[in-house]
């Protein structure tokens, strides 16, 4: 961010006014986000148990060590990272496709645009429960359709077997979050200048070529930001897994692991350490993403 070296009186006054206006928000943030986060990090260095918080003793890095030594934690890390990567990738590709379609003028476009948002509007717990029934091995519509089509010889237990359950969860998340991606990308598409495409057409570029040479580079910025939002969301995923698979250690995200230790096992200290590690890991992955993203962005612009 470039800032003029000499700040005038007016600019200083404005800056002060800005701080005054920001103050309520900052206080609010500190109360609802900062304080709980600080408490969690604080608990992570103790052996606090949920039954009696006052008996908590400082144990240094003990809780962190026990999380890092637990193979279940690493299974959870693997599951979460794989989930985030796969689902965000699929959502980006599908979201782009949908955005391109919605960008065209056709009758009833407004209606379709609104309809596309429905999955995003349904609360995750509700949609996950709905999908859980569709995935049911005996009554589920998915098995019924696949068997009717002759694609399956016998019903699959979609949410029961860990290997299948992972993909079932990815599917539900993609179903839910793709509209979000599509909407953000559509907004970006609508800002693109028409004349560039006109020039490309005159130069004889086909639709595929103009997509990769013009559209993609131009919406790369918004795409990266939208994907970042989704990535943050996906890394702290909890509800889809919880409703669909119910928390066996083989299909448990990091947030599920933290919840299990905090509440099911009452080990608030260990659970808080896991939650803290989750925040650190998200921060780290976001930093990596931003660095890599900026590098590619520069290439795109040059």
Partner 1 sequence: MSKVLMGRMLAVMALVPTVAGAARLNLACGSVGQEQELCRQGAEAWARQTGNEVSLVSVPTDAGQQLTMFQQLLAAGGRDIDVFRIDVVWPGIVGPFFIDLRPYFPESDRAAFFPALMRNNTVDGRLVAIPWFMDAGLLYYRKDLLEKYHQRPPETWQALAGTAKVVLEGERRAGQARLTGFVFQGKAYEGLTCNALEWVDSFGGGTFVDAQGQVTLDNPRAVEAVSFIASLMGNVVPRGVLSYEEEGARGVFQSGNAVFMRNWPYAWALANSAESPVRGKVGVMALPRGGPDGRSVGTLGGWQLGVSRFSAQPELAVQLVKYLTSAEEQKRRALVASFNPTRVALYRDPDILRANPFMGSLEETFASAVARPTVTGAKYNQVSADIRNAVHATLSGRGAAQESLQKAHQKLVRLSRGGRW
For position 260 contacting partner 1 by CB under 8 A, the verdict is yes
For position 157 contacting partner 1 by CB under 8 A, the verdict is yes
- Closer to partner 1 at the Cβ: 64 or 261? 261
Binder to partner 1 among 137, 214, 236, 285 (CB under 8 A)?
A: 137
For position 263 contacting partner 1 by CB under 8 A, the verdict is yes
Which residues, at least 6 apart from 232, have a Cβ–Cβ distance to it below 8 Å? 282, 286
For position 210 contacting partner 1 by CB under 8 A, the verdict is no
Contact 124, 131 (CB under 8 A): no
Q: How far apart are CA 180 and CA 90, in angstroms?
A: 13
Q: How far apart are CA 47 and CA 273, in angstroms?
A: 10
For position 155 contacting partner 1 by CB under 8 A, the verdict is yes
For position 276 contacting partner 1 by CB under 8 A, the verdict is no
- Closer to partner 1 at the Cβ: 49 or 236? 49
Segment contacting partner 1 by CB under 8 A, of 6-14, 88-96, 100-108, 135-143: 135-143
- Binding to partner 1 in span 66-85, by CB under 8 A: 72
Q: Is 46 helix (H, G, I), strand (E, B) or coil?
A: strand
Q: How far is the CB of 52 from partner 1 (least distance, A)?
A: 7
- Binding to partner 1 in span 159-178, by CB under 8 A: 159-162
Q: How far apart are CA 140 and CA 168, in angstroms?
A: 13
For position 247 contacting partner 1 by CB under 8 A, the verdict is yes
Contact 128, 244 (CB under 8 A): yes
For position 249 contacting partner 1 by CB under 8 A, the verdict is yes
- Binding to partner 1 in span 41-60, by CB under 8 A: 49-53
Segment contacting partner 1 by CB under 8 A, of 10-18, 55-63, 98-106, 154-162: 154-162
For position 146 contacting partner 1 by CB under 8 A, the verdict is no
For position 35 contacting partner 1 by CB under 8 A, the verdict is no
Q: Is 8 helix (H, G, I), strand (E, B) or coil?
A: coil
- Closer to partner 1 at the Cβ: 35 or 211? 35
70: phi then psi, degrees, rounded to nearest 5: -90, 115
For position 134 contacting partner 1 by CB under 8 A, the verdict is no
For position 221 contacting partner 1 by CB under 8 A, the verdict is no
Which residues, at least 6 apart from 80, have a Cβ–Cβ distance to it below 8 Å? 234, 235, 237, 253, 254, 255
Q: How far apart are CA 174 and CA 64, in angstroms?
A: 33
Which residues, at least 6 apart from 272, have a Cβ–Cβ distance to it below 8 Å? 40, 41, 42, 43, 44, 48, 63, 258, 262
69: left (phi over 0), alpha (psi -120 to 50) or beta: alpha
Binding-site residue total for partner 1 (CB under 8 A)? 30
Please give the residue ranges that form the binding site for partner 1 (CB under 8 A).
49-53, 72, 136-139, 155-157, 159-162, 245-250, 259-260, 263-267
């Amino acid at each position: 961010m470039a800032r003029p070296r000499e700040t005038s009186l007016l600019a200083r006054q404005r800056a002060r006014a800005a701080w005054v206006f920001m103050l309520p928000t900052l206080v609010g943030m500190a109360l609802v986000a900062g304080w709980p986060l600080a408490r969690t990090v604080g608990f992570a260095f103790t052996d606090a148990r949920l039954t009696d918080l006052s008996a908590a003793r400082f144990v240094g890095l003990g809780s962190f060590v026990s999380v890092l030594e637990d193979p279940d934690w690493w299974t959870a890390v693997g599951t979460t990272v794989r989930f985030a990567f796969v689902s965000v990738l699929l959502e980006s590709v599908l979201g782009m496709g949908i955005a391109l379609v919605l960008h065209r003028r056709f009758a009833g476009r407004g209606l379709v645009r609104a309809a596309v948002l429905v999955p995003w509007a349904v609360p995750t717990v509700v949609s996950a429960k709905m999908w859980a029934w569709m995935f049911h091995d005996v009554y589920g519509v998915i098995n019924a359709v696949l068997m009717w089509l002759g694609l399956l010889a016998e019903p699959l237990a979609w949410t029961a077997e860990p290997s299948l359950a992972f993909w079932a969860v990815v599917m539900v998340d993609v179903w839910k979050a793709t509209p979000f991606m599509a909407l953000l990308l559509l907004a970006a598409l609508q800002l693109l200048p028409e004349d560039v495409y006109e020039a490309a057409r005159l130069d004889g570029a086909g639709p595929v070529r103009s997509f990769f040479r013009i559209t993609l580079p131009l919406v790369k910025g918004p795409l990266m930001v939208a994907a970042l939002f989704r990535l943050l969301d996906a890394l702290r995923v909890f509800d889809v897994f919880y409703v669909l698979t119910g928390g066996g250690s083989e299909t448990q995200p990091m947030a599920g692991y933290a919840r299990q230790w905090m509440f099911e096992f009452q080990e608030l200290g260990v659970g808080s350490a896991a939650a803290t590690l989750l925040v650190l890991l998200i921060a780290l992955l976001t930093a990596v993403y931003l660095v890599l993203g900026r590098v590619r962005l520069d290439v795109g612009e040059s």
